[in-house]
């Protein structure tokens, strides 16, 4: 061809990220799969018991990057890997509770749901907003289903000991998890040199955290002295009938160290009294009454009563110094595969010997127990993982929160460390002091801004005593629940769907 001559050859162009063809050129699928494993590991290691909270931002940033220009199926597969590595190691304790349940939860449940979050994040730059929104929606679902919710290893728990915790006072754990994801997107944007967008996200999150710190706690309704009793004993043991008397004896021995008249309320753990039939008719009721009389203060104690051969009830009551037993609240939110077996006929085919033979009868009623020391919002054990359970008790007049729990049968300390983090988040959301009592650890005292003030060690016999305030204020999170984060996430998704609808509509040829 002569120089300067015209050409009728159309140059070939590389496919773009917004097209429907192949993925944008860049690292291959295997490199991205490796990045997905690293991303999941970073998020996992930011969750207690490891708690390396800055890694959460790194993990989300990697997740945002590896979805760049990928098809929907690849986004699902890569995000599935993120989910499996995120939840697999951090929920390993479930293996000894129910191996089939662990496999189903990690490889079918959480892996698939995180994969769907990746699909919804799109392949273009809009994923920096859609991924955090998708995570908020996923974690909302995570707290409600399946089986009423299994809110383990949530992003918010990565920040229970981090600087973003005050965000929970504004919009609860969901907003805090969304803030973690947003900062992950900001980290990605900063690495790509998009400083203005990254800075705007960072400023928004920081201002929200500062606003959470500024939320007033209100005037206290009185000062009380509370003691949380931990009887001690071996960790990682399953319940046996022969263990019931030693457990009670250990807690009575630990309580003996409380000076008469030195406290206003004693909190004992969940099901340290494990009997058949009604408590009032059992000889152990007399031992509890004598201890309450000696201390000169009511004892909030956890009781399990066998009902027939296949069921039981799990509740707390207040044993008063005058011998009366009042203020019963039955646990409503049960532990799947621990206190009941969902789809029992199915799982009995694979793990009949590992399943609990009895099932708890779910309680009804309001999660608040009045005592002579003040009105206590009560979350029994697993219930503290659900913000709505604590909100209910506080809205009913709870001036502080109690969390009688029992983690003695769990393998490792993953549940216990995550429960401490959840207690910190519940205290932050509600603006209330929280007292947690466990038979073998961890017991804790948490301040109304989520600060961990005291925590026991595993296995030790100890009494944690603290002076706390009875508070009556309302935080934004306590008042609005999940409304703020769900509205923000829903708004992002709605804006995206609207923009997509308008784009597709504009591409439809107009007939003449």
User: Quick one: which of 447, 408, 416, 443 has its CA closest to 431?
Assistant: 447
Let me know how many helices (H) and strands (E) the chain has, helices first. 16, 14
For 368, the 3-state DSSP assignment is strand
Closest by Cα among 404, 113, 73, 422 to 270: 404
Q: How many CB atoms lie under 10 A from the CB of residue 494?
A: 11
Tens digit of pLDDT per residue, the chain (512 long)?
Answer: 434 443 443 343 333 333 333 444 578 899 999 999 999 999 999 999 999 999 999 999 999 999 999 999 999 999 999 999 999 999 999 888 778 788 989 999 999 999 999 999 988 899 999 999 999 999 999 999 988 899 999 999 999 999 999 999 999 999 999 999 999 999 999 999 999 999 999 999 999 999 999 999 987 889 999 999 999 988 766 655 557 889 999 999 999 999 999 999 999 999 999 999 999 999 999 999 999 999 999 999 999 999 988 999 999 999 999 999 999 999 999 988 888 888 888 777 777 677 788 899 999 989 999 999 999 999 999 999 999 999 999 999 999 999 999 988 788 889 999 999 999 999 999 999 999 999 998 999 999 999 999 999 999 999 999 999 999 989 999 999 999 999 999 999 999 999 988 888 888 775 55
Task: Find out whether 154 and 173 touch, Cβ atoms under 8 Å.
Answer: yes
Q: What is the pLDDT of residue 96?
A: 82
pLDDT of residue 457: 93
Contact 91, 102 (CB under 8 A): yes
Please give the Cα distance from 58 to 80 (Å, whole number): 18
Q: Which residue, 314, 330, 297, 317, is CA-closest to 370?
A: 317
Round to whole Å and give the CA distance between 402 and 368: 10
SS3 state at 164: coil
Ranges of H-type helices in 408-455: 414-430
Residue partners of 258: CB distance under 8 A and separation at least 6? 227, 229, 266, 295, 463, 465
How many angstroms separate the CA atoms of 120 and 125, rounded? 13
Q: Is 437 helix (H, G, I), strand (E, B) or coil?
A: strand
Sign of CA dihedral 98, 100, 101, 106: positive
Query: Contact at 8 Å (CB) between 459 and 413?
Result: no
Q: Nearest-CA neighbor of 252 among 242, 266, 240, 265?
A: 266
Q: What is the DSSP letter of 10?
A: P
| Residue 19 confidence (pLDDT) | 37
In contact, 147 and 336? CB cutoff 8 Å: yes
392: number of CA atoms within 13 Å, CB side?
Answer: 18
pTM of this prediction?
A: 0.91
3-class state of residue 121 by DSSP: coil
Q: In 208-324, where do the E strands start and end? A: 220-230, 265-267, 273-276, 299-307, 311-319
CA distance 60 to 131: 9
**Domains of the chain by residue range:** 29-214+482-507, 220-342+354-479
Q: Which CATH superfamily is domain 220-342+354-479 in?
A: Carbon-nitrogen hydrolase (3.60.110.10)
pLDDT at 29: 92
Sign of CA dihedral 313, 315, 319, 323: negative
Beta bridge partners of 377: 368, 401
- 167 contacts 209 by C-beta, under 8 angstroms: yes
Mode of pairing for the β-strands spanning 299-307 and 273-276: parallel
* Predicted pLDDT of residue 470: 97
Collapse the DSSP code of 348 into the 3-class scheme (helix H, G, I; strand E, B; otherwise coil) and give the result: helix
Cα distance between residue 419 and residue 452, in whole Å? 12
For residues 311-321, b (16+ Cβ closer than 10 Å) or e, as one string?
ebbbbbbbbbb
């Amino acid at each position: 061809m002569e120089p300067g001559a015209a050409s009728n050859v159309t140059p070939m162009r590389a496919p773009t990220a917004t097209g429907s063809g192949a993925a944008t050129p860049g690292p291959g699928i295997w490199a991205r799969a490796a990045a997905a494993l690293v991303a999941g590991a970073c998020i996992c290691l930011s969750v207690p018991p490891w708690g390396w909270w800055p890694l959460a931002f790194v993990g989300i940033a990697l997740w945002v990057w590896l979805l760049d220009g990928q098809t929907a199926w690849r986004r699902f597969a890569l995000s599935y890997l993120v989910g499996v590595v995120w939840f697999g190691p951090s929920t390993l304790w479930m293996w000894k509770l129910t191996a089939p349940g662990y496999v189903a939860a990690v490889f079918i449940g959480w892996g698939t749901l995180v994969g769907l979050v990746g699909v919804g994040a799109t392949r273009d730059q809009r994923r920096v907003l859609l991924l955090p929104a998708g995570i908020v929606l996923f974690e909302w679902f995570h707290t409600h289903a399946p089986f009423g919710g299994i809110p383990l290893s949530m992003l918010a728990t990565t920040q229970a000991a981090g600087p973003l915790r005050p965000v929970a006072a504004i919009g609860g754990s969901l907003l805090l998890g969304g803030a973690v994801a947003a900062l992950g997107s900001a980290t990605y944007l900063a690495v790509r040199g998009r400083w203005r967008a990254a800075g705007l996200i960072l400023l928004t999150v920081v201002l929200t955290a500062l606003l959470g710190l500024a939320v007033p706690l209100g005037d206290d309704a009185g000062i009380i002295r509370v003691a949380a009793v931990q009887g001690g004993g071996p960790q990682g043991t399953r319940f046996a009938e022969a263990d019931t008397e030693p457990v009670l004896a250990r807690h009575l021995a630990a309580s003996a160290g409380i000076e008469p008249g030195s406290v206003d309320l004693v909190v004992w753990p969940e099901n340290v009294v494990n009997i058949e039939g009604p408590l009032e008719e059992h000889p152990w009721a007399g031992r509890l009454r004598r201890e309450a009389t000696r201390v000169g203060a009511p004892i909030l104690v956890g009781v399990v009563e066998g009902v027939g051969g296949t069921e039981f009830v799990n509740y707390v009551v207040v044993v008063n110094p005058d011998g009366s037993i009042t203020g019963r609240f039955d646990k409503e939110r049960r532990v799947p595969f621990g206190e009941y077996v969902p789809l029992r006929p199915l799982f009995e085919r694979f793990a009949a010997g590992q399943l609990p033979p009895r099932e708890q009868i779910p309680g009804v009623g309001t999660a608040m127990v009045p005592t002579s020391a003040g009105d206590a919002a009560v979350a029994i054990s697993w219930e503290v993982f659900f913000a709505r359970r604590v909100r209910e008790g506080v809205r009913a007049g709870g001036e502080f929160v109690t969390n009688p729990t029992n983690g003695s049968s769990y393998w490792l300390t993953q549940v216990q460390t995550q429960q401490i983090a959840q207690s910190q988040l519940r205290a932050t959301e509600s603006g209330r002091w929280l007292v947690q009592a466990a038979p073998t650890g961890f017991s804790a005292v948490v301040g109304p801004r989520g600060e961990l003030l005291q925590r026991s060690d595993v296995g030790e016999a100890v009494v944690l005593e603290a002076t706390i305030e009875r508070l009556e204020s309302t935080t934004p999170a306590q008042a609005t629940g999940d409304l703020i984060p769900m509205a923000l996430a829903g708004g992002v998704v709605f804006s995206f769907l609207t923009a997509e609808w308008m784009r597709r509509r504009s591409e439809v040829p107009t007939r003449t």
